[in-house]
Amino acid sequence: MFFGTSQTESGDSKWRKELDRFVKANQPELAALFWGLWLENGNSQGTIGIDLQPAPHFVYCPQDEIEKLNSRVENRLQEIIGIIENHKPEVEVVMIGIGKGEIKLIQFAPEPAPPVCFEQVGKDVDGLLELLEQRMREEIVI
């Protein structure tokens, strides 16, 4: 695509744009959830993911499964693996979006930082999961 020209939004990329909008609109709550889950499990369960099928919900993406997928796709996920391995949870949020047989890295550094978001939002992990999954079902239309 050339700069200045527009393309119609394909169904394959629509989920990515919907997910981007959702993340942008819900950064404090996503950062709070990320930090709450980090406090509970560290990275022992893997990276938090947002799976859009059949209905949007949160999952864990175990590190060994990401590495197996990377092998199957000729190491095209190496950059994502590097970001996951080197992120600083007290400063930035890293999640994986899963939709239409593809993945998308979700990465942002919220202001305030994730630990402060968790304190300010004032909900526990279960409450955040319920709130955000409900919002995803309302806001992400694929």
Burial bucket for residue 34 (CB in 10 Å: 0-12, 13-18, 19+): buried
12 confidence band (pLDDT: 50, 70, 90): low
pLDDT tens, residue by residue, 21-30: 999 999 999 9
Mean pLDDT of the chain: 90
**What does pTM read for this prediction?**
0.88
4 confidence band (pLDDT: 50, 70, 90): very low
Q: Are 31 and 117 in contact (CB under 8 A)?
A: yes
Instruction: Tell me what the mean pLDDT of segment 52-56 comes to.
Output: 94
Instruction: Tell me what the mean pLDDT of segment 88-115 comes to.
Output: 95
Helix (H) or strand (E) run with residue 8 in it: none
| Cα separation values, 65 from 51, 58, 69, 72, Å | 15, 16, 6, 11
